[in-house]
Structure 1
Amino acid sequence: MEIKNIFCIGRNYVKHAEELGNEVPKQPILFSKPTHALTKADGRVLSFPKLLGEIHHELEIVLHIHKNVEKGDLIEDVVDKMALGIDLTLRDLQSELKRKGQPWLRAKGFRESAILTDFWDFPGIEECKKNSFSLTNNSEIVQKGTINEMIFSFQMILDELIKAFGVKAGDIIFTGTPEGVGPLEDGDDFSLYWNEKKVGNFLVDRK
């Protein structure tokens, strides 16, 4: 599956905004990652040198767009697949960039900072509302959420992206992370779950 653009939404859960001491946004915060950031949650070991500083995991639902989108299109007509993903953030660097008023790209778009499970068929909004998604580290749940807790719905996110950038076939959208973000440590073993089903995992090397 070819991926064209990686769009991301920041601070889309109230408790996540609060845990980092950020204001709750009144409109979606948009950013992107280069496709070079992509990697798979297929059991592989991901290596991040310690010199990069603190790196935080952010669990997210990821939507795949299968057609060119026009203003007024509904999310269920343009999304065909979904996955779970991890948006990794160089937190020390991001804090420094924010202080300087500079873009986040260096802190968000580094290699292997967009970790994806395999995609599966998108079941629709109502079905997604009945499900939770979670991340475990060494078998302990560290993040868990549902789309019912989102500040901005899938449709609101899509509408904002259409207005700001345009959305076309092959684009994917990271839709925001619930509370519980935290640092990667050497030897961590992360697993991603859709309800009780394990859909991906990866190991961390921080030498």
Structure 2
Amino acid sequence: MTLIDALNWRYAVKTFSQRTVSTALRDELIEATRLTPSCYGLQPYRLIRVATPETREQLGSYAWGQNKVHDSSDLFVLAVHTDGISAIVDRYLRCQSNVRGESLSSLNDFRDYLITTLGQKNDAEIIHWAHRQAYIALGQLTTAAAIKRVDTCPMEGIDTAGFDRILGLESCHLTTSVACVIGYRDTDDKQASKPKVRFPITDFLVEM
């Protein structure tokens, strides 16, 4: 299946079957999401897999009755860091130091550059920026899943404060950005047979 075939095949599934995604395939999708590009590679977010059925049931109360929160194979939540740009940068530089064997002191100039560049934003603007970064990861997850013939449904229709509370994210300096469920479409999902609605290329592409 080509990339375009996969993207035409996928849609936001409303009703999931009981079939589960294998551990190996799920891990591959997690890895694809981890490899998402982000601004300076900072990855100012975490991917949370909600594995406990009881927790998924609780989250259902904050998803406006969307059964797919607990009926799908897996529930992921992308949550962004809220502890400020210095913490985000230092977290990344520690990772870079470990991966590349570079001393932290040798990265001081890079740190100063990142803090100066991104530090022009206030805390609220940094969180907003982090949410935008998380959505890039969401796009990569849904595309990777489509290529593997795994269904997805991104979920913005959730009470993020409720998700934060159930998942205990505040104490981790995180806040919910968006959720995404994965699995396999039910044969009775009426959305599956409907043509995909997208603007034609003449109304979508602007060439200058």
Category of TM-score, reference length = shorter chain: under 0.3
TM-score normalized by the length of structure 1: 0.27
If you compute each CA radius of gyration, which structure gives the higher value, 1 or 2?
2
Q: Which has the higher helix share?
A: 2
Q: Indicate the structure with greater strand content.
A: 1
Give the TM-score taking structure 2 as reference length. 0.26
